[in-house]
């Protein structure tokens, strides 16, 4: 496999070959030294002192890092120098063997390692003693003795490296043995320093035996200094490693690639055998379980941690440390040992109060080591950054998903459909069309009004599920509007598309359970194909919608697009002349829709709305004749008619001592007329109406298109004393910060958000934000489209001042408005006159 040594790993039993050879060599040397240099009674006391010093230095080990390189500092060469000078050869061999045995008992190593280390130490001290015997006898602590002892210690160090490299080469391969030799170069320098220290101790002891006291003090001080020095470097290294790890995690934008940049670093930082990342399944995100193991470059899809231990940490919602150093989790040790692990740390990944996964490290490397409390703190720091990285990557993914999918049904939305169509029309095959089939669900609005928006949403969800089931596997199914669904696919021809659309409509029809009712679902289907009906996605969708609107009047409910369907625009032009006559003859009627204070249910004003009943075409939609008025230069006259009617009624109410304010819609085109403020001032004087009772509502999208040009007119109107309102707020591309720059007094939230806020958390958040920030700016907030008690309660709770909608009243002609005021309200006296208060909202 890639990344592994080419040499095949052998069994550890091969180490006995070298262990046995070293043991035989040490035994032969010991017998020889016993025969030639038997121990004398006076040699035992120095041997015991050197043994004690040896044990102290063996256990005093320090790890430091200098320029990103790790060093293990021991001072065993100091007692070695003193022992070679003061202790007889045989006793020195026994001292080293006893120290080696004590170290192995403390470390509780496996037998093959323990006996290799004992044999190695015994063979190395024997080789060291043979080197000393090769030189002339040592008689004093002079320079000659220094050289002999330095050479002897160097042989000891080199032989230890050679023995270790040899056994590693036999078990793990030649390359691993070479790595051991390269890693040992730093120890040679440390050993040289220790030899110099040992010689200084020897010279001091030879000068006077009393020097042992200051030497002992110096040794203790050096030990404490080295421990402090090692601790500082260890903390510095840990902080640097944690910083690098968090940087790598922060730069990774995908949680699918997060384990690759995380686990190897965590395993190295914690010096553990395993590092595992577990992420719990969440919505559309599957479970993740990946592990990095020492000496393996790849990641494993399993974990050495028992699932019961992980589940315990998650259920307890706390860090879990299991091992010999953690007595409070002794009850979990048996489960841990069953997987041959000695210790484990499990740290939950938290997102708020929820746990989304864990980071786990198993088996601190080195049999004499285990995890400590400081390791828990480091792993908790890492887990905090990892949890943020996971949540950020999933948040970005969710935002990207939400931007192209409908929240209610999970289907692709209009943006996604447009992008997919744009790609589809780039590839045009002969005898093939790109088809857009639009399904308009019939009766969904009636369900909303009679059973509530929750039932309407249930209906749409069921239709979406049914449509997914009947569409071909190669089709893209999406929702592009409130009750409009689109299927895009490739077909042989327009005729084949119509046949398929008819078949899908029939399969989509049928009873559907919504709550306790069973409804018959019907749809109107519009068909448009590329290239016959358009060359771009927006045109295809627009013409499919026109076809679907026309299909509502057909018994079979499927309509392909044809140019005659665009006659509505022509119809608008046709009524231009009729509109002029209607304005001149007073055929346009002004309706009034009440506006109510939500806190005390006072009717404080009305919105003035133009209505036109055409003698031939019947009711003409306001958007139709307003558009005609804009394009034919009749908008100023239309605005004057509505404003005049509103001011007349405002004067009548004021004369009756029950003042009501009026609101009139203005087009951005009207605001571009510099003479309009003068007209308003003149009409206010004619009807003797207080300017504070008049509000002009300007649509946000329209105002944004020419904001620089309409601002002077807005300031002139404000100076007259009339109130200015931003209508349809939220449907444009402005931010609330612009409200501080515009001379407006009021914000009117678009009904599309108000009507959806009771069932859509996104709409609720938008309305709440608009209300809160508008009030911070000192602006009055009006909610239009209030159609349910739940919506009313939510608006009142968040502090919205005014509301209007079908819950209170539809737009009414003047006579019916007066009747409504008499029937639905009761008078209430105030210092400013009579105010009408709603008896009940029905």
The DSSP secondary structure of 671-693, one letter per residue, reads HT-TTHHHHHHHHHHHHT--GGG
The predicted pLDDT at position 26 comes to 84
Q: In Å, how far from its chain's centre is CA 311?
A: 24
First-to-last C-alpha distance (Å) of the chain? 77
Instruction: Give the strands of the sheet with 484-491, arranged side by side.
Output: 476-479, 484-491, 433-441, 523-530, 558-560
Q: Is 679 left (phi over 0), alpha (psi -120 to 50) or beta?
A: alpha
d(CA 423, CA 763): 31
Cβ atoms 421, 436 nearer than 8 A: yes
Q: From the CB of residue 58, how many other CB atoms can be counted at a distance below 10 Å?
A: 17
- pTM: predicted TM-score of the whole model, two decimal places: 0.44
The predicted pLDDT at position 5 comes to 37
d(CA 551, CA 524): 5
Q: Give CA separation, 374 vs 332, 700, 758, in Å.
A: 21, 58, 50
Give 725's strand partners. Answer: 697, 746
Buried/exposed code over 309-336 (b: 16+ C-beta within 10 A; e: otherwise): bbebbbeeeebbbbbeebeebeebbebb
Q: Which residue has the tokens 């390692």?
A: 113
The predicted pLDDT at position 73 comes to 53
Q: In Å, how far from its chain's centre is CA 146?
A: 66
d(CA 149, CA 226): 25
The predicted pLDDT at position 842 comes to 47
Q: Tell me the two tokens of residue 526.
A: 């519009």
Q: Is 212 strand, coil or helix?
A: helix
The predicted pLDDT at position 6 comes to 39
Q: Is 390 strand, coil or helix?
A: helix
The predicted pLDDT at position 526 comes to 93
Q: Is 323 left (phi over 0), alpha (psi -120 to 50) or beta?
A: left
d(CA 199, CA 427): 87
Q: Which residues of the chain have pLDDT under 50?
A: 1-9, 63-71, 367, 733, 842
Buried/exposed code over 447-475 (b: 16+ C-beta within 10 A; e: otherwise): bbeebbbebbbbbbebbbebbeeebeeeb
Q: Give CA separation, 837 vs 24, 331, 593, 782, 834, in Å.
A: 111, 71, 15, 18, 10
The DSSP 8-state label assigned to residue 665 in this structure reads: E
For residue 729, how many C-alpha atoms fall within 13 Å in the half-sphere facing its CB? Answer: 28
Element (H, E) at 838: strand 833-838
Cβ atoms 795, 786 nearer than 8 A: yes
Closest CA relative to residue 406, chosen from 480, 476, 477? 480
Cβ atoms 66, 233 nearer than 8 A: yes
Alpha helices in 489-608 (DSSP H): 494-508, 537-551, 567-574, 576-585
Cβ atoms 169, 176 nearer than 8 A: yes
Spell out the residues 6+ positions from residue 750 whose beta carbon is closer than 8 angstroms to its own. 728, 729, 730, 731, 784, 785
d(CA 416, CA 766): 23
Cβ atoms 548, 524 nearer than 8 A: yes
Q: Tell me the two tokens of residue 57.
A: 């230095």
Q: Which residue has the tokens 């109060």?
A: 353
d(CA 682, CA 664): 16
- Rounded to 10 deg, the angle between the 494-508 and 453-470 helix axes is 130
Q: Give CA separation, 549 vs 388, 441, 459, 519, in Å.
A: 48, 11, 20, 21
Give 467's strand partners. Answer: none
Q: Give CA separation, 209 vs 55, 86, 141, 369, 609, in Å.
A: 22, 13, 14, 38, 113
Element (H, E) at 529: strand 523-530
Q: Tell me the residue ranges of DSSP E strands in 342-475.
A: 344-351, 354-364, 433-441
The predicted pLDDT at position 163 comes to 83
Q: Tell me the residue ranges of DSSP E strands in 654-766.
A: 661-666, 694-699, 723-729, 746-749
Q: Is 596 strand, coil or helix?
A: strand
Q: Is 805 strand, coil or helix?
A: coil
d(CA 658, CA 667): 30
Q: Is 165 strand, coil or helix?
A: helix
């Amino acid at each position: 496999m890639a990344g592994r040594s080419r040499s095949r790993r052998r069994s550890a039993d091969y180490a006995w070959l070298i262990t046995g050879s070293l043991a035989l060599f040490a035994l032969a040397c010991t017998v020889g030294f016993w025969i030639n240099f038997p121990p004398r009674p006076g040699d035992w006391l120095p041997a015991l002192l050197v043994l004690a010093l040896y044990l102290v230095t063996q256990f005093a080990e320090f790890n430091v890092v200098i320029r990103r390189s790790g060093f293990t500092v021991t001072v065993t060469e100091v007692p070695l120098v003193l022992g070679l000078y003061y202790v007889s050869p045989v006793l020195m061999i026994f001292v080293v063997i006893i120290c080696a045995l004590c170290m192995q008992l403390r470390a509780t190593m496996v037998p093959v390692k323990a006996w290799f280390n004992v044999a190695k130490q015994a063979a190395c001290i024997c080789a060291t003693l043979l080197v000393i015997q090769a030189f002339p006898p040592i008689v004093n602590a002079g320079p000659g003795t220094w050289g002999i002892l330095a050479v002897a210690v160097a042989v000891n160090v080199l032989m230890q490296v050679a023995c270790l490299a040899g056994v590693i080469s036999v078990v793990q391969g030649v390359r691993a043995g070479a790595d051991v030799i390269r890693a040992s170069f730093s120890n040679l320098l440390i050993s040289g320093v220790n030899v110099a220290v040992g010689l200084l101790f020897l010279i001091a002891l030879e000068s006077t035996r009393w020097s042992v006291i200051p030497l002992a003090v110096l040794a203790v001080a050096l030990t404490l200094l080295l421990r402090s020095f090692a601790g500082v470097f260890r903390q510095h290294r840990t902080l640097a490693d944690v910083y690098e790890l968090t940087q790598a995690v922060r730069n990774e934008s995908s949680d699918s690639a997060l384990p690759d940049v995380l686990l190897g670093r965590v395993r190295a930082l914690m010096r553990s055998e395993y590092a595992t990342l577990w992420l719990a399944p969440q919505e559309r995100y599957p479970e993740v379980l990946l592990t990095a193991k020492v000496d393996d470059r790849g990641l494993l899809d399993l974990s050495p941690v028992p699932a019961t231990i992980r589940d315990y940490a998650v259920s307890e919602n706390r860090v879990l440390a299991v091992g010999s150093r953690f007595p409070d989790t002794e009850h979990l040790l048996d489960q841990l040992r069953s997987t041959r692990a000695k210790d484990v740390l499990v740290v939950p990944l938290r997102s708020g109060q929820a746990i989304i996964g864990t980071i786990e490290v198993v088996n601190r490397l080195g049999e004499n080591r285990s995890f400590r409390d400081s390791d828990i703190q480091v792993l908790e720091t890492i887990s905090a950054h990892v949890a943020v990285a996971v949540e950020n990557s999933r948040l970005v993914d969710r935002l990207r998903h939400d931007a192209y999918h409908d929240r209610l049904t999970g289907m692709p939305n209009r943006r996604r459909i447009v992008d997919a169509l744009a790609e589809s029309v780039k590839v045009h095959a002969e005898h093939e069309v790109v088809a857009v089939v639009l399904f308009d669900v019939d009766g969904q609005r009636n369900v909303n009004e009679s059973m509530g928006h929750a039932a309407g949403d249930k209906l749409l969800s069921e239709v979406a599920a049914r449509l997914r089931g009947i569409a071909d596997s190669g089709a893209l199914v999406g929702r592009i509007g409130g009750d409009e669904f689109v299927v895009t696919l490739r077909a042989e021809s327009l005729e084949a598309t119509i046949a398929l659309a008819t078949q899908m409509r029939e399969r989509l029809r049928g009873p559907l359970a919504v709550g306790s009712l069973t409804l018959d679902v019907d749809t109107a289907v519009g068909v448009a194909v590329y290239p016959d009906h358009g060359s771009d996605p927006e045109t295809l969708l627009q013409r499919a919608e026109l076809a679907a609107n026309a299909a509502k009047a057909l018994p079979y409910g499927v309509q392909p697009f044809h140019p005659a369907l665009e006659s509505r625009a022509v119809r608008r032009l046709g009524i231009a002349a009729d509109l002029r006559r209607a304005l001149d003859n007073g055929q346009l009627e002004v309706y009034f829709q009440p506006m109510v204070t939500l806190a005390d249910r006072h009717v404080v004003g009305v919105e003035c709305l133009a209505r036109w009943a055409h003698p031939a075409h019947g009711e003409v939609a306001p958007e139709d004749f307003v558009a005609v008025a804009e394009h034919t230069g009749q908008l100023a006259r239309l605005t004057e008619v509505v404003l005049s009617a509103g001011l007349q009624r405002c004067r009548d109410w004021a004369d009756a001592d029950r003042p009501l304010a009026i609101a009139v819609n203005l087009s951005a085109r009207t605001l571009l007329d510099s003479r309009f403020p003068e007209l308003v001032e003149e009409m206010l004087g004619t009807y003797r109406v207080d300017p504070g009772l008049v509000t002009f509502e300007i649509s946000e999208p329209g105002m944004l298109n020419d904001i620089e040009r309409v601002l002077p007119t807005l300031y002139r109107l404000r100076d007259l004393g009339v109130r200015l309102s931003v209508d349809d707020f939220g449907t444009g591309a402005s931010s609330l910060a612009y409200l501080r720059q515009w001379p407006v007094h009021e914000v009117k939230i678009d009904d599309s958000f108000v009507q959806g806020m009771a069932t859509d958390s996104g709409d609720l958040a938008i309305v709440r934000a608009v209300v809160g920030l508008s009030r911070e700016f000192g602006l009055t907030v009006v909610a239009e489209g209030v159609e349910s008690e739940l919506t009313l309660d939510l608006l009142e709770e968040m502090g919205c001042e005014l509301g209007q909608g079908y819950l209170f009243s539809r737009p009414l002609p003047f006579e019916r408005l007066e009747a409504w005021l008499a029937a639905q309200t009761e008078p209430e006296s105030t210092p400013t006159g009579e105010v009408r208060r709603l008896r009940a909202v029905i």
